[in-house]
Amino acid sequence: MIPGEEEKVLSGSTFISSKKLFVFVIFSVLIFALVALYGKIDDVLIALAAIPWYWVLPLMMILSFLNYIIRYFKWQYYLHRINVHLSHRDSFSIFLAGFTLTATPGKIGEIVKGYFVQTHDGTPVAKTMPVVVSERVTDLLALVILAVLGFTFGINAGDQILAVLLLGGIALAGAIVLGNRTFYQKILKRMTSFGPLKRFQDSCDLIESTMIQTLSPKPMLISTAVSVPGWFMECLELWILLGLFRDASLPSFSIESLSLLLAATFIHSAASIIGALTFSPGGVGTYEITSMALIVFLLSTSETLASAATILIRVFTLWFSIIVGFVALAFITRRTRRTSKPTDIIA
């Protein structure tokens, strides 16, 4: 590794730009302001102030972190399939550090995890970066399953499910193509045999091997099944928030509360799918519009409730994950600096 390159990888400067992050923060604040305006700012602030933060805040953080832990096992399963073996401490830190780039279109910026793995054991980036693509595809499939379950059992009217099924079909078709050896042998290798893509030709075999090992039918089914309970944690968060805003009720096993859970599952899953596939950074804008529209339409609630719930679910899911990612990134950077030797950097 050439001098200075390790620091560049460790800091994530190749991907993590403070300027771009600042622009994203401003954009998100603007979206939140528009959401609050839609729900009447004064009423939204009153609704937010009425939340019992002393237990809601830690509960939301716990549910979000449970989502990360569950999905971490999918990441570890993928690494095991491609014969990459890291300690749980290193692997979990790298997995969380990827969240620093959650605010990218389709979260594809999480490919930075491939560089973090390379600094630990020298695994070629081309071998691990495709894992992020497999993660995103199976996440989408899991969200489609949750949306279908929520719609089927909790909602009796509307055509919103058609859009979800269409987007889910696109994700499934993409998974089938990416997990098929023919795609790489007949299409990708030809595409990289000339022109500017030729420099990626040597990486084709590694990409092909990883994608087939992670998106062939069996691993795709297993990883999608693992993702379902992970993303359901976020649906639980929206369920709790909607219950508190609607009638200050706590979650229960009553018919009304369980119906709200199914509706919340559909709303959060559908909004997340649309946010991901419209490729807005972090789904910002498209998630909020979809969430508010579905809450108002399906639950017949006020714009104030829809706005307040949408703002909070985004804070507890999107922004909390970014904060966790930067904490993990700091841990990785500090630990690698301690274990690195001057000769390692020069080499």
Helix axis angle, 286-299 to 18-38, nearest 10°: 20
Q: What is the DSSP string of 272-300?
A: HHHHHHTT-BTTTTHHHHHHHHHHHHHH-
Amino acid letter, 10: L
**Average pLDDT value over all residues in the chain:** 83
Query: pLDDT tens digits for 298-346?
Result: 888 999 999 999 999 999 999 999 999 999 999 888 877 776 654 343 3
Interhelix angle 255-277/217-247, rounded to 10 degrees, is 120
* pLDDT at residue 155, rounded to an integer: 62
> Tens digit of pLDDT for each residue in 235-293?
999 999 999 998 887 888 888 899 999 999 999 999 999 888 887 888 899 999 999 99
Cα(178)–Cα(174) distance, integer angstroms: 6
Long-range contacts of 153-158 (CB under 8 A, 24+ apart): 153/262, 154/259, 154/261, 154/262, 154/263, 154/265, 154/266, 155/262, 155/263, 155/266, 155/298, 158/297, 158/298
Report the percent of the chain where pLDDT is more than 70: 81
The number of folded domains in the chain is 1
CA-based torsion, 226, 177, 106, 34: positive or negative:
negative
Quick one: which of 309, 305, 304, 258 has its CA closest to 287?
Answer: 309
Entry pTM: 0.86
Residue 43: both structure tokens together: 């009423």
Give pLDDT, residue 8: 43
Asked if residues 200 and 129 have their Cβ atoms less than 8 Å apart, the reply is: no
Neighbours of 239 (CB within 10 A): 22
229 has pLDDT over 90? yes
Average pLDDT of the residues in 87-99: 93
Handedness of CA 23, 29, 35, 37 (dihedral sign): negative
Query: pLDDT confidence of 1, banded at 50, 70, 90?
Result: very low
C-beta of residue 311 within 8 angstroms of C-beta of residue 322: no
Q: Is the pLDDT of residue 196 over 60?
A: no
pLDDT of residue 215: 86
Q: What is the pLDDT of residue 319?
A: 93
Asked whether the beta carbons of 231 and 67 are under 8 A apart, the reply is yes
Q: What is the pLDDT of residues 111-145, one digit of tens each?
A: 889 888 988 888 888 889 889 889 999 999 999 99
Domain range for 235: 5-346
Helix (H) or strand (E) holding 210: helix 204-215
Tell which wins on pLDDT, 345 or 196: 196
Q: Which two tokens stand for residue 17?
A: 């730009």
